[in-house]
Structure formats: structure tokens, C-alpha cells
Amino acid sequence: MALEKKVLEKLAEILENSKYTVVLSGYGMIIESGYPALRDGDISYDIEQKYGYSLEELLHSSFYSTRKELFFDFYRNEILKPLDIPPGKGFQILKEMEDEGLVGQIITRRIFGLPQRAGCKNVINLHGSVYNNHCPHCGKAYPMEYIRDSTKVPLCEVCNTPIKPDIVLFGEQVDNSVITRAAEEVSKADVLLVLGTKLSSALCRQLTGYYEGSKLILITLYPHYSDKLADMVINQRVDDTLEELITYMKKKRND
């Protein structure tokens, strides 16, 4: 459903007048790109039936430490396999908005690197990225493909130590320097654009407290009681909304 013209006008005006806009990109954006909702009831159940453990157990730091063969079996099949799906329209438009100076920083907890793969440059991955991996012993870096193409536990070519994906597993803490950097970005924003998540989500609870502005814009498909905390709410798909917005702004510029 198309947005009312007055809503588009207001949204465009806010972003055009913003000196620094920070985006919090949530789970909804990867779902719109076609990635599986691993915590969805049916998918979560299927994973537990297939592997004998829950998603949280399989992606736990202790599981990586003690059950590496099963950890990597799950990791290759369920986490890395969807990477064949390219970034969706929403991420492509964020890249365009970044190029035009409408977005200064993107922050996400998602680990699939979709903003960067769409071409976005200013991205903070709070929980790391599946595209970065290293040897915990000697520090040698490895690409995602090294793990994807392995058939057993991927070992370091230098010291034969099992490789560690550079993502935050359950039971691990986010690097304090990464949180600090994200908090600093949010604190200097005059517009905070929250996309594809609830304001009660972990991402928002972690960062919105640092926001000192008065233009918190929420774009997410499903209404939630926490929507009242936003200054402007659009309950619609993120990708469709951003497409309408960028089309409107281009037309306005050319008229």
C-alpha cells in the first residue's frame, strides 16, 4: 500500500534537513531479502529435529568449544548456505541513500554482511560478520569460503588450530569498543532511522538510550506497543517504503 503524500513529504523533509542520520537495521530487513527466519517456530523446530539441539545451543560458545564437528556442520548448512541470496532492495536503496549523503552510518546486529554486500561503506556490525574468520592461536585470517568449502572442522593452514568465525556466539560478549563506537554514532545523530525491528528489540534497547535528538523514525511491517516511543511510525515493509521515498525525492529534485 502506497504511503500518503503528506507522509512522504514529511519523511523526505526530515532526511533532507538532517545533518547526520544513523540507521539501525533490524531482523525484518534480512527477512525481506529472503533470508530464513531461523528463530521462527517452524524453522527452529526443524533445526532441533535435524541436529538434536536448539539454535541457541548450536550457536553457543561452549558448543563451538566442545562439539566443533557438529557446530561447523550446522554452521555451513544453516548459516552460510543462505549467502547465495543477494542483498534485497532495501539494502540497495540504503546504499543509494548513503551515496547521496542521506545516511551517515548503518548499525546492525545481523551477521550476513548485507549492507556491505550492497555497497554500503559506513557499517558497524555489532555481532561481527560471517565473512571474517581467524585462527585463535596464530591470528591468521580466513575468508568465508574457507569454512564454507570445508568438509570437516576447518583448520588453520599454519598451526592446525580450528578456525573461529568472527561472530558473537551465544554466551559471548560484544566487544566493548564496538559498542562504544556505535553509541557515539547514535549520540551525534539528529535523525535516528530504525528499520525492520521493534523499539523493544535488543538492538534498540542497546542503543536508543544514547540518542539525544527528537526525530526517531520507525519503519517496520508489524505494529507493536513500543511504537509509541517513536516520533514517526510507518508500519509497512522497509524496502517498499524506502523505494517510495527515494523515488519521490528524485522526482521532487527533477521537477
CB 87 within 8 A of CB 115: yes
Q: Is the dihedral of CA 91, 94, 98, 103 positive or negative?
A: negative
**DSSP 8-state class, residue 108:** E
Q: Which position among 127, 134, 137, 224 bears the catalytic label?
A: 127
Q: Which of 213, 253, 197 is nearest to 21 (CA)?
A: 213
Q: Which of 113, 106, 146, 114 is nearest to 128 (CA)?
A: 113
- Residue 237 has phi, psi (to 5 degrees) of -55, 140
- Residue 218 has phi, psi (to 5 degrees) of -115, 125
**127 among known catalytic residues:** yes
> Which pairing describes strands 216-219 and 164-167: parallel, antiparallel, or unpaired?
unpaired
Q: How far is CA 178 from CA 125, 162, 175, 207, in A?
A: 8, 25, 5, 12
- The residues annotated with a catalytic role in the active site are 127
